[in-house]
Amino acid sequence: MENTPDSKPRHGIIAEVSPWVQRFAPLVAQGGTVLDLASGGGRHARYFLGLGHPVVAIDRDTGPLADLQGQAEVIQADLEEGAASAAAWGGRAFAGVVVCNYLHRPLMPYLLDAVAPGGVLIYETFARGNERYAKPRNPDHLLEAGELLSLAGVRFQVIAYEHGLIEGRRVVQRIAAVNAPGDEAPRELYPG
């Protein structure tokens, strides 16, 4: 399968690349390795491969990622299995870390550590209020208001943050942030 930004997997999992991820993908250093955490069907792994990035894709079920073997590093790991979850990517740091539709709070400190200095965190998942519209409804899987902003803290320069109702059917929270001290020069939003 040719990997282009518009490539779609051959299975029934979500295939469209998140517009949030597309918007902030140019912030990832050209040729920098991207971690696609809880990659599911691999839509974002395929997208970044198509942009010329090396990719590490991690999920508990790597069956939908089988066609990426040899193109990306595919790791099968249960991200909710204690210390093993944080060790899944071997303590490496990445130019970009992408997470969509996944939340496991105990993993968050390790996830932030996985963003290399100057690297970009692109995160989008469900937030409180979503339970009125669709799954997930369990508060353990829904971000509190401002939670991603709090996590990014002083360590990251927040490029963009949103929290709200999308398309009248889901409530999401999303952030794009650069691992840089606040005194660094602002990051070019749309590198050309």
Among 183, 184, 187, 142, smallest CA distance to 160 is for 187
Tell whether 187 is covered by a domain.
no
Q: What pLDDT is attached to residue 11?
A: 37
Find the domain containing 68 and state its range.
19-179
Tell whether 2 is covered by a domain.
no
Q: What pLDDT is attached to residue 8?
A: 38
pLDDT digits (tens, 9 = 90+) for 21-78: 999 999 999 999 999 999 999 999 999 999 999 999 999 999 999 999 999 999 999 8
- Is the pLDDT at 112 greater than 80? The verdict is yes
Number of domains comprising the chain: 1
Structure-token pair, residue 40: 């599911």
Tell whether 12 is covered by a domain.
no
Of 142 and 78, which is predicted with more confidence?
A: 78
Tell whether 4 is covered by a domain.
no
Tell whether 108 is covered by a domain.
yes
* Distant-in-sequence, close-in-space partners of 167: CB < 8 Å, separation ≥ 6: none
Q: What pLDDT is attached to residue 107?
A: 87
User: Can you tell me the mean pLDDT for 94-110?
Assistant: 90
Q: What pLDDT is attached to residue 74?
A: 95
User: In Å, what is the CA distance from 101 to each residue of 1, 60, 143?
Assistant: 25, 14, 11
What is the pLDDT of the chain when averaged over all its residues?
Answer: 82
- Here the CATH number for the domain that contains residue 146 is 3.40.50.150
Measured in whole angstroms, how far is the alpha carbon of residue 59 from the centre of its chain?
Answer: 12
Tell whether 188 is covered by a domain.
no
Tell whether 185 is covered by a domain.
no
- Is 66 within 8 Å of 72 (Cβ atoms)? no
Tell whether 54 is covered by a domain.
yes
